[in-house]
Chain A
Amino acid sequence: MTKLAKEGDFINRVKAFRQEKKLSQLALAEAIGVARQTINLIENNKYNPSLDLCIKLAETLDTDLDTLFWDTRNHT
């Protein structure tokens, strides 16, 4: 049974993928059309982005939603 992630305890790998692609927060934000602060909030799990934004993030970081957002510790 899947457990719904609460705001604040959800782990995403946006920062790791961004650093791997050698992008700054500002560059990533400009690439997907959001403010840099929003990228910072997403990376620090302070904001849960919409599905639309998640897809844009995954596309820009050349990965898929599962890899970027699926937390295997909480979901079996």
Chain B
Amino acid sequence: MKLHYRTLKHFFGLEGTFDEYRQNQLNKWISQAFTWIQLYLLIMLIIATTLQNSHPKLLITLLMIGNVIVLIAPMVYIQRKVNQENFNVIEIDAKNYNSTKQTLLKRTHFSTLLFFIVFHLIASWQTLSSNGNFIANIFSIKQIVTSLIASIFFWILIRLTSLRNIRVVVDED
């Protein structure tokens, strides 16, 4: 599989084979999202041209809010479509149910470990202003406990989501 599709598959949490139908659908949704982004850029260009001299501060605020929305909205839109089409569902035979659950448990552990490392590093870096030493922050008990609690919630969320997405299939007519 191309790196492009492999990245998209992991980014949007697609399960199973990423076949031609799924690739076509994902490309369609991305194109739709891109069209809306283009429209946003056009509207923002008109607004910026109009407000640049009279209300520069308002313009910057509008641009910041607009950019955040445009950054998040396409991802939410595509994720919603992925959920609607059940692309995130793990379809299995009944006999593979337990082994799939075990595989998912291992994946959950690994994801939680990654989450803990990233969360802990970012949180330690963010609290630099209150305690000037990054290394001290990393080994701070308070920081470690905070990261552990966040990771436990993350583990529960991922575990519940992955268990919900397992589906024992029978042929649909």
Contact = CB atoms under 8 A, between A and B. Distances in A.
Interface residues of B, number: 14
Interface string A1-44: 00000000000000100000000111001000111111011000
Tell me the dominant secondary structure on chain A's binding face: helix
B172 A40 contact: yes
A47 interface: yes
A34 B172 contact: no
Interface stretch (B14-22, B31-39, B124-132, B150-158): B14-22
B171 A35 contact: no
Nearest to B15: A35
Interface residues on A, range: 10 to 19
Nearest to A47: B21
Contacts of B17: 29, 33-35
Interface of A: 15, 24-26, 29, 33-38, 40-41, 47, 49-50, 52-53
